[in-house]
Amino acid sequence: MSEEQKKGSYGADSIQALEGMEHVRMRPSMYIGDVGIRGLHHLVYEVVDNSIDEAMGGYCDTIDVWINEDNSITVKDNGRGIPVDLHKKEGVSALEVVMTKIGAGGKFDKDSYKVSGGLHGVGVSVVNALSENLKATVYRDGKIWEQEYERGKTMYPVKSVGDTNERGTTVTFKPDEKIFQQSLEYNYDTLASRMRELSFLNKGITITLTDKRQTDEKGEFVSETFHSEEGLKEFIRFLDGNREPLIADVISMEGEKNDIPVEVAMVYNTSFNENLHSYVNNINTHEGGTHLSGFRRGLTTTLKKYADASGMLDKLKFEISGDDFREGLTAIISVKVAEPQFEGQTKTKLGNREVTSAVSQAVSEMLENYLEENPNDAKTIVQKVILAATARHAARKAREMVQRKTVMSGGGLPGKLSDCSEQDPAKCEVFLVEGDSAGGTAKQGRDRNFQAILPLRGKILNVEKAMQHKVFENEEIRNIYTALGVTIGTEEDSKALNLEKLRYHKVVIMCDADVDGSHISTLILTFFFRYMKELVEAGYVYIATPPLYLVKKGAKKAYAWTDKERDALNAEFGGSANIQRYKGLGEMNAEQLWDTTMNPDFRTLRQVTIDNGTEADRIFSMLMGDEVPPRREFIEKNAVYANIDA
């Protein structure tokens, strides 16, 4: 350490580092996406990703994560430990450079390229900048080293605080309340899903998550350990646990094509849905991209070739489309790309051209082998494809009908829709309301300038269990398409949605606040998730939250959304208030519905987001599948949307 460093005066490089950290604090969203719940959790992923990198290099096999009592987070690994020796160019320890210099992350070892590294590999220094305090402890070369920071500023030079036989890195950080103003509270389930996902994507690593804020029946901290020996194969079994498999095995491959590591696992089930999940460097690429195109191409060409050669298609009177090969398919594609180019609205679409052929080749080889070695499964799959093609043929008419109706604007709106007068979609809302009577109340209560009402009859179709043509033939569902003004895609990709003519930027599901109501919301959400995913991804779907109680005493009157609120109001009114439990929207009059649930000044709308696509998929297949017990338990225990609502 130079004299200058000891005195704490900064060299030119340190000043630059400081400016970088200041920039992160001034524009946090540029680095972590947002400063809400999502961004808060992102900090953990960023730190864990560094340890995952170390594990992928083969230097580490155990990662422990704790949610501490004060909502700070500790991440510990048994890797090599971040180097603490002097970084020549920066004039401070390498640890300090990693922690305080934006983008310093992987500069040390060029040989093992960074393939993980947070949303876009922003690095742990970003977490440091956004933390009230952070402490790094390094176990390396027989010593324990330590350094602390406050809001990214170094508190003291790296110091040795003891001896050790261990190796590794431990980071503890507390997110800064000045930055994360919405909430500082970590959600155990959210972190657990991500840790589970990481363990499937990086087989062999053991990740433990422990919540020091909660204890179980035995008085022990809530904790789970995630470890997968079979990686994606196990991931598929986990995802498809609630579906009936069509073939016994999960088909999988792992290898390298043109220097791109490619892993694929897939299975067919008896459902009618396509579930493709793709990852680049452990990041879920919601918008797909070149690796997904490669998968589709490899799958279609190989299966088509096999089916043609088998003679099974000889009597078929129509063409088989790409969609048909993917009905009832669940697949995961995971690639590692050295310099990923992310595109698209949410920057989760892979752009690197070279990846398409790498994945396509890998998939073709894997499938060719499999089909050859498993002729019975091959036959079952081709039969399923033929069935899908036949149904699609039947669906064509139904789809054309929806299309014709939606293409005509204005005149073709459903009779049941009470539209609003405003024309600008950005200002318009539509409420999907359970039942005609609640629909009537909503119609009276609304502000007709910008709020439209579409009543839906009873339970809408469970699209999870219906073939596509049944979905497009369903009247309630057709009404949703026409009311929203969205058109559906081509035959090649029948579910691709065109949002250009979307008539409302808020689509609000409004159901009773009871088990039946949440079942209906779930049915509607399932439809949106499977058929209008783009709408959800764009953030246009919301859930209304009607109150559970009306608490009245004399002239005093207030609403409560929870039992706790109810009791608090009762106490506030001096006790023995008159308490009315709303069993459904129908029990509210128009004014009450407006005051509590529809008036933008007072209502709470819950925006539906898909934070974790694979988890949402699993939950919908569970909620809407054949197994009744897990569904009942889940619906009764949780608000249905608990796990997909950010």
Active site residue 434: yes
Instruction: Find the shortest distance in angstroms from Cβ 77 to ligand 0RA.
Output: 5
Alpha helices (H) along 136-214: 188-201
In the complex, the smallest distance separating the C-beta of residue 169 from ligand 0RA, rounded to whole angstroms, is 4
Closer Cβ to ligand 0RA, 27 or 88, answer by number: 88
Q: Which residues contact 610 (CB under 8 A, 6 or more apart)?
A: 286, 529, 533, 536, 537, 616, 644
Minimum CB separation from ligand 0RA for residue 60, in Å?
Answer: 7
598/620 Cα distance (integer angstroms): 27
Q: Is 534 a catalytic residue?
A: no
- Distance, CA of 249 to CA of 232 (rounded, Å): 13
86 close to 61: Cβ distance less than 8 angstroms:
no
Distance of closest approach, residue 94 Cβ to ligand 0RA, in angstroms: 7
Secondary element (H or E) of residue 219: none
Residue nearest to ligand 0RA as judged by C-beta position = 50
Of 51 and 570, nearer to ligand 0RA (C-beta) is 51
Residues 6+ apart with CB under 8 A from 92: 1, 5, 14, 86, 157
Task: State the residue for tokens 């290099």.
Answer: 57
Residue among 232, 247, 210, 230 at smallest CA distance from 282: 232
- Least Å distance, CB 50 to ligand 0RA, is 3
| 407 in Cβ contact with 332 (< 8 Å) | no
Query: Which lies closer to ligand 0RA via its Cβ, residue 51 or residue 284?
Result: 51
Task: Give the nearer residue to ligand 0RA in terms of CB position, either 107 or 606.
Answer: 107
CA angle 608, 395, 404 (to 5 degrees): 75
Q: Specify whether 633 is catalytic.
A: no
Question: How many residues lie near ligand 0RA (CB under 6 A)?
Answer: 11
Inter-residue contact 499 to 486 (CB < 8 Å): yes
**Of 83 and 439, which CB lies nearer to ligand 0RA in the complex structure?**
83
Q: From the candidates 53, 197, 263, 434, give the one annotated as an active-site residue.
A: 434
CB atoms within 10 A of CB 493: 14
Using alpha carbons, select from 375, 333, 325 the residue that is nearest to residue 232: 333
As beta bridge partners, residue 154 has: 149
Q: Which of 47, 417 has the CB closer to ligand 0RA?
A: 47
Closest CA to 73 of 209, 228, 255: 209
Q: How many other CB atoms are found less than 10 A from the CB of residue 609? A: 17
Smallest distance, ligand 0RA to C-beta of residue 560, A? 47
Radius of gyration in angstroms for the set of CA atoms belonging to the chain, rounded to a whole number: 27
185 is catalytic: no
CB of 75 to ligand 0RA, least distance (A): 8
- State in angstroms the smallest separation of the CB of 403 from ligand 0RA: 53
Residue 282 binding ligand 0RA, by CB under 6 A = no
Cα-based distances in Å from 619 to 70, 134, 197, 623: 30, 35, 15, 6
Contacting ligand 0RA within 162-201 (CB under 6 A):
169
CA distance 408 to 482: 9
Q: How many CB atoms sit inside 10 A of residue 639's CB?
A: 14
Q: How far is the CB of 51 from ligand 0RA (least distance, A)?
A: 5
Closest by alpha carbon to 130, among 149, 145, 146?
A: 149
Closest CB 67 distance from ligand 0RA, rounded Å: 18
Buried b (16+ CB within 10 A) or exposed e, 26-49: eebeebbbebebebbbbbbbbbbb
Q: Which of these is catalytic: 22, 422, 491, 516?
A: 516
Site string for ligand 0RA, 20-59 (x = CB under 6 A): ------------------------------xx--x-----
207-246: which residues touch ligand 0RA (CB under 6 A)? none
Active-site entry in 13, 224, 493, 514:
514
Residues between 72 and 131 that touch ligand 0RA (CB under 6 A): 77, 79-80, 82-83, 108-109
Structural contact between residues 399 and 285, judged by C-beta atoms closer than 8 angstroms = no
Which residue of the set 512, 534, 537, 611 is catalytic? 512
Q: Give the DSSP letter of residue 642.
A: G
CA 137-139-144 angle, to 5 degrees, is 70
Q: What is the DSSP letter of 323?
A: G
Find residue 196's DSSP bridge partners: none
Q: How far is the CB of 117 from ligand 0RA (least distance, A)?
A: 10
Comparison of 109 and 244: residue with beta carbon closer to ligand 0RA:
109
Residue closer to ligand 0RA (CB basis): 168 or 517: 168
In the three-class reduction of DSSP (H, G, I as helix; E, B as strand; rest coil), residue 332 is classed as strand
Distance, in Å, from the CA atom of 548 to the CA atom of 596, rounded to the nearest integer, reads: 10
Between residues 96 and 611, which has the closer beta carbon with respect to ligand 0RA? Answer: 96
Place of tokens 């310099």: 339
Q: In the range 321-360, which residues lie near ligand 0RA by CB under 6 A?
A: none
Which residue lies nearer to ligand 0RA by CB, 39 or 83?
Answer: 83
Task: Give the nearer residue to ligand 0RA in terms of CB position, either 169 or 273.
Answer: 169
Residue numbers at the binding site for ligand 0RA (CB under 6 A) = 50-51, 54, 77, 79-80, 82-83, 108-109, 169
Catalytic residue numbers? 434, 512, 514, 516
